[in-house]
Amino acid sequence: MDSILKIAIVEDNDDLRALLIQDLSIAGYFVKGAESAEQLDELFASNIFDVLIVDINLPGENGLSISARYRRLNSQLTIVMLTARTTIEDKVTGYDSGADLYLTKPVSNSELLAAIASIGRRVAARRAIPEIVLNLRSMTLTANKAVDLNKQEVLVIKALCESPSSNLPYYKLLEICGEPIDEVSKATLEVRIARLRKKFIEAGVPEKSFRALRGDGYQLLLDVHIVL
């Protein structure tokens, strides 16, 4: 697997975009730039990126919309907002739109490179994760070792794997498990997800496995290969 961190930048200021590409390329990263959402989509159509650096004020689709869209498409993509908007409200909106990191302009070269290096370490750790296999017949989850699952745990993982963006609302997960849709069952689902997180760790997966979607459901953050 290619170990070079791949970075896409969408920034409509030509001089700033060129400077960012230059600095990050000199640091050893693979970098491509776009001035709009349309150009960014073309880049992603022919490349797989680990990081997206996005400005908010862009012609056409703005950076908030771009971030939310790409977050839905790829939960593993690290999104860095680099913008002149500096208020607390702006930052909260940025994080709500899918940003993993919010940096304000002007950003120093040393701060940006330090942030990207930190992201690179996390991406490298994620790449080192072994293949994760859900065996429907044996009802086991395997990475470095096999861990036994119960029927509901198998159903939850399978349903999330097969769902677009690997997420489902809690009521759908309850239906799949054959449980009533009420507060008691919702609390039971939370306990089940907590146990599944521990089982992923027990199987040898160090990365975070599930994300709670603001009280609305859960997202599986890892690729799981299903075998019959």
Mean pLDDT by 10 residues, the chain (228 residues): 82 94 94 95 89 94 94 86 93 93 92 93 76 90 91 92 85 89 87 92 83 84 84
pLDDT value of position 214: 76
CB of 63 closer than 8 Å to CB of 54:
yes
pLDDT value of position 1: 41
pLDDT value of position 116: 94
In DSSP notation, 129-162 reads: SPPEEEETTTTEEESSSEEE--HHHHHHHHHHHH
Token output for 75: 């939960």
The structure tokens 């599930």 sit at: 210
CB atoms under 10 Å from CB of 78, counted, come to 23
Give me the domains of the chain, ranges plus CATH numbers.
6-127 (3.40.50.2300), 132-227 (1.10.10.10)
Task: Measure CA 93 to chain center.
Answer: 17
CB of 194 closer than 8 Å to CB of 182:
no
Q: How far apart are CA 31 and CA 49, in angstroms?
A: 9
CB of 29 closer than 8 Å to CB of 7:
yes
- Indicate the pTM of the whole model: 0.59
pLDDT value of position 163: 84
Strand-by-strand arrangement of the 51-54 sheet: 30-34, 6-10, 51-54, 78-83, 101-104
Question: Which candidate, 151, 173, 150, places its Cα nearest to that of 162?
Answer: 173
Q: How far apart are CA 112 and CA 82, in angstroms?
A: 10
Cross-strand bridge partners of residue 217 = 169
